[in-house]
Chains A and B, each alone.
Chain A
Amino acid sequence: MSLVFQVIGAGVAGLSVASELSQRGAPVRLYDRNGPPGPHACSWWAGGMLAPFCEGESAEEPVMRWGQLAADWWESMGASVKRNGSLVLALGRDQRELDRFSRRTHNHHWLNDNDLLTLEPELGGRFTRALYFPDEAHLDPRQALGALTQTLREQNVEIITSEGHFTQHAIDCRGLTAQDQLSDLRGVKGEMLVLRCPELTFNRPIRLLHPRIPIYLVPRGEGVYMLGATMLESNDRRRATVRSVLELLSSAYALHPAFGEAEIIEIGVDARPAFPDNLPRLRIRNGILFVNGLYRHGFLLAPTLARMTADYLLEKKIPEFLDAN
């Protein structure tokens, strides 16, 4: 009997790894103690921006390189990917933040107020310039997680509600829960909201820079927007604070006053799993392969990590970030 890979954890990491393995014909079992993806998973609350170039502002080089492969992979897995680019803006007195952002990133160009009016009419007259990243994309994380679940089901891989078996061929994708095995994994807390604002139509993710409270808005269609996200050095996965929500909402209101009338559909909170360099990696400990540390780049980097995992397990290719110590 051939070996069966036991993937533990059905968040964006586990689902991507299981899908990639299964797609390449390897037998897979997928376990999650909470069953199919839902509010218990960090990736449920993600923004879903596939924005490797914007992330280059503060992330290390591999994030940019690996992230460029994400949009195609997600599309091949049945996720609906919107390739409308992304916009970066700053309010009047924070204009220097925008200059700084442009110096630290690539593959963008400047828009003036007329260009902006054509691209996102709702912003016309409110901003005189913006940075446009035409090669970026976005998706709806919950739809994408559902697409992976569905693809796996079609290949007869069901998500088994169980802790899983940490045997020889286990692939541990439990995110922050794997702190029990990985002492250098930490949580970076994020709070977000989902708003319904039918008055406004934005077609692409918008980032509003601010020295203390940068925000982004990701359109989910039909006037629904994801507003994120705080970044706090904390493992807390439950408590959204008044201060955080207030700051996020004030910034959204500053971006466009129509958000004053928006309906708050959800307030979400979770903690992103991160290693000290904020880069993900494959790590082998006691015969178990850990795929973890996706930080704020779950949907951006899971495809590359899934490919690396499959390359390693099926073709013995040593991945760029393998920690086999």
Chain B
Amino acid sequence: MANFYGVELSSPLMLGTSQYPSPAILTDAFRNSNASVATVSVRREAGFEKAGNSFWKLIQELGVRVLPNTAGCYSVREAITTAQMARELFDTSWVKLEVIGHPDTLQPDPFGLVEAAKLLNQEGFDVFPYMTEDLILAERLLEAGCEVLMPWGSPIGTGLGLNNLYGLRSLRAHFPDVPLVIDAGLGLPSQAAQALEMGYDAVLLNTAVARAGDPVKMAVAFARAIEAGQLAYKADPMEPRDMAAPSTPVLGKAFLR
């Protein structure tokens, strides 16, 4: 299992904590899927006088690592302020950095992302940047001090799965030693399995589980798919080929007609 800023995670499943029908169902989803990381969006207004405390207490009681995020931030400054607040609230140097570039697609703003990552790394944060699958952006983020990369599968909340397989494969091939997490866009367990089969180290998802008719069942389904994908990757899959290759030798077989 990959190393995330000195931490070995017990499972490659990271779950978001918003949009569940109730905190009780959220807790069950975590318990039953053995997810190892909980991401929490920190709205600055909820930090005011610690008004969000009862919910955050509930997240901390899950007993998993908390990864606060800067969801909904459109500028470097907003993202930095939110990250600083999150560090204080959750007593962790981990932060999932989101700098959003467009309200419709919620796609990352790569330029703001690199700038914010640089500043946060200088301040001693362990930054998990939410990014597009662009190779050069990846290089810039690593130069900025990031040790983990989180490319999107497809836009947040769409459930479209891995949109650019070529890009994601080449990212994996270029950075064999950097922990890579597919963040956002997953809708089905099979898509998560595919990410792990390709050698990705973890997946992060929220809507696919929280908005399923039965979030607990869906969390378990993802956990199993991820386990299958991870096993398959470790087992070194066969290479696909164009010609049929019978598994029983034809040589010496009697011609029946």
Binding site for B on A (CB under 8 A): 58-60, 103-104, 179, 185-187, 189, 211-212, 232-236, 239, 241, 274, 276-279
Residues on B with beta carbons closer than 8 Å to the beta carbon of A235:
51-54
Decide if A278 touches B46 in the complex (CB within 8 Å): no
Decide if A187 touches B45 in the complex (CB within 8 Å): no
Which residues of B156-214 have CB atoms within 8 Å of chain A's CB atoms?
157, 213
- Return B62 CB to nearest CB of chain A, in Å: 12
Residues on B with beta carbons closer than 8 Å to the beta carbon of A186:
23, 54-55, 58
- In the bound complex, CA of A279 to CA of B46 (Å): 23
Decide if A58 touches B43 in the complex (CB within 8 Å): no
Which residues of B108-150 have CB atoms within 8 Å of chain A's CB atoms?
none
Q: Among A103, A234, A274, point to the contact of B51 (Cβ < 8 A).
A: A234
Specify the chain B residue showing the minimal Cβ separation from A278: B22
Known: A59-B21, A232-B43. A276 touches B49 (CB 8 A): no
How big is the B interface, by class?
10 to 19
- Ranked nearest first, the 4 interchain pairs of A and B with the lowest CB-CB distance are A186-B54, A233-B55, A236-B51, A277-B24
Q: Among B24, B25, B49, B52, point to the contact of A233 (Cβ < 8 A).
A: B52
Residues on B with beta carbons closer than 8 Å to the beta carbon of A59:
21
Residues on B with beta carbons closer than 8 Å to the beta carbon of A189:
51
- Return B114 CB to nearest CB of chain A, in Å: 26
Known contacts A59-B21, A186-B58, A232-B45; 6 additional CB pairs below 8 A are: A232-B43, A233-B52, A234-B43, A234-B52, A235-B51, A278-B21
- Return B25 CB to nearest CB of chain A, in Å: 8
Q: How many A-B residue pairs have CB under 8 A?
A: 57
- In the bound complex, CA of A58 to CA of B49 (Å): 29
Does B27 sit within 8 A of A, measured CB to CB? yes
Does B48 sit within 8 A of A, measured CB to CB? yes
Residues on A with beta carbons closer than 8 Å to the beta carbon of B24:
276-278
Decide if B45 touches A276 in the complex (CB within 8 Å): no
Decide if A236 touches B58 in the complex (CB within 8 Å): no
Q: Among A103, A236, A274, point to the contact of B213 (Cβ < 8 A).
A: A103
- Return B180 CB to nearest CB of chain A, in Å: 27
Residues on B with beta carbons closer than 8 Å to the beta carbon of A58:
21
Decide if A236 touches B49 in the complex (CB within 8 Å): yes
Residues on A with beta carbons closer than 8 Å to the beta carbon of B213:
103-104
Instruction: Sample 20 A-B pairs with CB under 8 A, ordered by A number.
Output: A60-B22, A103-B213, A104-B213, A186-B23, A186-B58, A211-B157, A233-B54, A234-B43, A235-B51, A236-B48, A236-B51, A239-B48, A241-B45, A276-B22, A276-B23, A277-B22, A277-B24, A278-B21, A278-B24, A279-B22
Residues on B with beta carbons closer than 8 Å to the beta carbon of A179:
54
Which residues of B1-48 have CB atoms within 8 Å of chain A's CB atoms?
21-25, 27, 43, 45-46, 48
Which residues of B191-247 have CB atoms within 8 Å of chain A's CB atoms?
213
